[in-house]
Structure 1
Amino acid sequence: MRKIASLFILIVIAWGCQTKYPGVPKTYHALLDTAFIKAGDNAPELQKALAETPEAQKEGMAFIISYMPERDLTTLKAGFLLENSEYAYKAREKYAWCAALPDSIFFNEVLPYANISEDRDNWRKDFYERFAKYAENKENMVDALMAIARNIKDEVNVEYNTKRSRVDISPLQAMKENMATCSGLSILLTDAYRAVGIPSRLAGTAMWTNFKGNHTWSEVLVDNEWQFIEYYPDTLNQSWFVADAGKADPENLLHWIYAVSYKPTGMPYYAAVDAPYVMNVIDLNTLPENVRERYKRRKERAEKKEPYIWGHNVTQRYIDLYQESIKNSKLADDELMANVVVFADANTTKSESRKSCRVDVYEGDKSLNFGYSPRKTDDMNQFLKFKLKKGTSYRFVVSSPEDNIQKEFTVTMGTDDTQDIQLVLHT
């Protein structure tokens, strides 16, 4: 009798585990439990959204609630979440490129209702109806995304303007004001792509290495490869900022290039507007004097807080894109390609001797260009590339404030089309 009772208890427990969140994979159960606790008084709204979601959309809704920032757990309502899910899945059913996506990409780069810290607008239905005509009858996703990029400005009537009310302006507010800067424009473009099932995310940097500002843009997943595009488009992986992005410092997170992730990655999106924790990781001593005081004041005002915008470090991809563009660009008759590597010591045959430093190139006193030399973990065939003039002498200034490095080299270019330059810090 005792065995029968024990078996009955096990069956009840197993049945309870299966029906706790019907239709939701067990991997989400503990995450949902935590989310509902954090939601407090708003938990019934989230539970209603999960309960009323159609069976085919259950896992997607579970994903969204499980990884939802706490600011949204306590405020978002069931109707908002259900409509967002309904139209995201409509796009998945309608467009072949969306239907073909792995769930992991669809959940993280199509289904989310927001990008960074913008207001949570109910944009999904409106954008689905607005941008479907540009995706209609397109043979492939690239044709669709280019059609949207070429027409979005006129469709939403939003132009670049620094007079916008806030940096991280939401789609509907940008359309109300008819203006936005790079963050707001990129949010508009990314949401337009997501509305028609194109996986998209924001990318950006907190500060260029030349300290002339920052920037945000959109990325799209094409043939399983992330490529970038802007609100005012050239074409994929082409824009004015490539040279700035290609000079990112892989050793300094202030200058990294980040891409946004809805699902937590363990790495904050340090390019986020609403991210005072960025100030807490800036070493003021590494900043130029002309911006140090401004950042000191920002650092003093910044309060440490938990991040809720997550990201990936995609710096190296942009460095590689820029270096590849230089390598593939046509050389003039009097130009050569300089392949620069910095070594910590004279053992230049080992990757462990490579030292990532800033390298500035001067002709006389005129600053021509700069970049960051490959790291010890980079492929030995990777170089910092500069287009320079044959037969001309240049000064290469190697610096790293963190390591107290400041050393100058003078090198005269030869007459071949390429020249390898090894800058050895300690002989």
Structure 2
Amino acid sequence: MNKLYLIGILLLFTWSCTTNYPNIPQQYHSLLDSALIKAGDNAPEMEKALAESAKEQKEGMAFLISYMPERDLTTLTADFLLENVDYAYKAREKYDWCNNLPDSVFFNEVLPYANVSEDRDVWRKDFYERFAKYADNSDNMVEAIMSIARNIKDEVDVEYNTKRSKVDISPLQAMKEHMATCTGLSILLTDAYRAVGIPSRLAGTAMWTNYKGNHTWSEVWIDGKWQFIEYYPDTLNQSWFVADAGKADPDNMLHWIYAASYKPTGMPYYAAVDAPYIMQVVDTNKLPEHIRPRFEEMKNEATDIAPYIWGHNVTQRYIDIYQESIKNSKLNDNELMANIVVFADKDTSVSESRLSCRVDVFEGDKNINFGYSPRKTDDMNQFLQLKLKKESNYRFVVSNPEKQIKQEFTLVTENTPTQDIQLILSN
């Protein structure tokens, strides 16, 4: 009898939870049940946010709460969420570019109240009022993107400075300190775009393949494609870091390019080298000797923390952007374009023979360039492309620590505009 009574209570609880979400699509009901349990004592704030959101905004509110990190479920207030959602929908109603977005893009890249691990500031209303004038005076979204990028520095009075209090500094704190580094600047820019209905997200890497540091920037969604833009802008898909990003190692998670996502993707956003998540997957034995001690120290300090910042692997897109920029750049009279592929054996006609390796190019004792050769899964027309001088002596060092490969090749380049260079490994 007691078991039947308990089962009845559980069924009644389940029924009450899953039917208490009027005007919210069924797909969110079980997710909301789970979120409210995780919210604990803060569950009434989440329930209030759902109950008091406007009918046409309820699905957006349900999306935020359904996929909300637990740290936010237990702390955020209904008023915080209601204002954030209300002003996001104001932008959607006002701007055609936002109104025409697929719901999936609006929910994940416009509606969120935060990007990564920054403090949860009440920024949306302020930024809507600050940046609407740039959007209003633009004929289209691209004009608005560039107008905001050109004016945000003066609007928020924040400059690059390593003396900022936190790497992941929040918008209002950055404005208070008048300083931020790349992560904080990118948060400011992404939030400015989201405030006027422009889909935006953070992107970055944990470590460049030259081990000279990392970087974070913003991406914007234009006509179904992601392009990047910086707080100190050049133009879309152009910046100083393109060559570094284009030399990312597609086989090493430490060097991937990541884009952040509010909705869980199954992949953490590994774009911060001091985050515990990336340290859990770094094999320090494969790192250059001069930086290995610091990484081993960081790995020992890292704790097994469940990720709540999610991401996408967008490495190949940045490799493609870089390779396209090389193709479109003018060769000097004494230069040629080298198309480099590494092969495991002499059968260079099949993709299975190709090996992804780091290729360092030396002129004398000076390392002048490097990159990563195509994998066996890449298109046969894809190469590692590097500019070299014609009729010059070069030494190529091919390495792949995982496969215990390190071999050297020497050759003299030809007097032609392009040259195919096949580096065939010896057994």
After TM superposition, is the score higher than 0.5?
Answer: yes
Q: Which is further off, 132-141 or 211-220?
A: 132-141
Summarize the alignment of residues 195-344 of structure 1 with structure 2, pairs less than 5 Å apart. Answer: 195-272=195-272, 275-344=275-344
Once the two structures are superposed, what CA deviation does each residue of 1:349-372 show, in whole Å capped at 9, x if it has no partner? 111111100000011111110000
Q: Is the 8 A contact 2:171 2:188 kept in 1?
A: yes
2:61 corresponds in structure 1 to 61
Does 2:47 align with 1:47?
A: yes
Q: Tell me the secondary structure at the aligned position of residue 355 of structure 2.
A: coil
Instruction: Give 1:139's aligned amino acid.
Output: D
Q: Is the 8 A contact 2:18 2:33 kept in 1?
A: no
Unpaired runs of at least 5, structure 1: 1-11
Q: Is the 8 A contact 2:18 2:30 kept in 1?
A: no
CA distance in 2, matches of 1:81, 1:212: 39
1:405 corresponds in structure 2 to 405
| 1:19, distance to aligned residue in structure 2 (A) | 4.1
CA distance in 2, matches of 1:424, 1:204: 33
CA distance in 2, matches of 1:392, 1:261: 46
2:363 corresponds in structure 1 to 363
CA distance in 2, matches of 1:238, 1:369: 20
| 1:426, distance to aligned residue in structure 2 (A) | 3.4
Q: Is the 8 A contact 1:272 1:309 kept in 2?
A: no
Q: Is the 8 A contact 1:50 1:61 kept in 2?
A: yes
CA distance in 2, matches of 1:343, 1:411: 16
CA distance in 2, matches of 1:100, 1:325: 31
Instruction: Give 1:26's aligned amino acid.
Output: Q
Q: Which is further off, 298-307 or 194-203?
A: 298-307
Summarize the alignment of residues 69-148 of structure 1 with structure 2, pairs less than 5 Å apart. Answer: 69-148=69-148
2:175 corresponds in structure 1 to 175
Once the two structures are superposed, what CA deviation does each residue of 1:133-167 show, in whole Å capped at 9, x if it has no partner? 01113111000010000000000000000000010
Q: Tell me the secondary structure at the aligned position of residue 269 of structure 1.
A: coil
Instruction: Give 1:350's aligned amino acid.
Output: V
2:393 corresponds in structure 1 to 393
Query: How many correspondences in the alignment?
Result: 416
CA distance in 2, matches of 1:34, 1:347: 55
Q: Which is further off, 358-367 or 114-123?
A: 358-367
Q: Specify whether residues 291 and 17 from structure 1 end up closer, same or farther in structure 2 by C-alpha distance, changes over 3 A only.
A: closer
Q: Which is further off, 231-240 or 279-288?
A: 279-288
* Length-normalised TM-score, structure 1: 0.95
Q: Is the 8 A contact 1:109 1:201 kept in 2?
A: yes
Once the two structures are superposed, what CA deviation does each residue of 1:334-392 show, in whole Å capped at 9, x if it has no partner? 11100001111111111111110000001111111000011111111111001011111
Q: Which is further off, 272-281 or 368-377?
A: 272-281
1:354 corresponds in structure 2 to 354
Does 2:38 align with 1:38?
A: yes
| 1:105, distance to aligned residue in structure 2 (A) | 0.1
- Cα RMSD for the two superposed structures: 1.6
CA distance in 2, matches of 1:300, 1:175: 35
CA distance in 2, matches of 1:273, 1:211: 11
Instruction: Give 1:184's aligned amino acid.
Output: G
CA distance in 1, matches of 2:18, 2:372: 54
CA distance in 1, matches of 2:166, 2:17: 46
Q: Tell me the secondary structure at the aligned position of residue 361 of structure 1.
A: strand
| 1:407, distance to aligned residue in structure 2 (A) | 0.5
1:3 corresponds in structure 2 to none
CA distance in 1, matches of 2:87, 2:409: 60
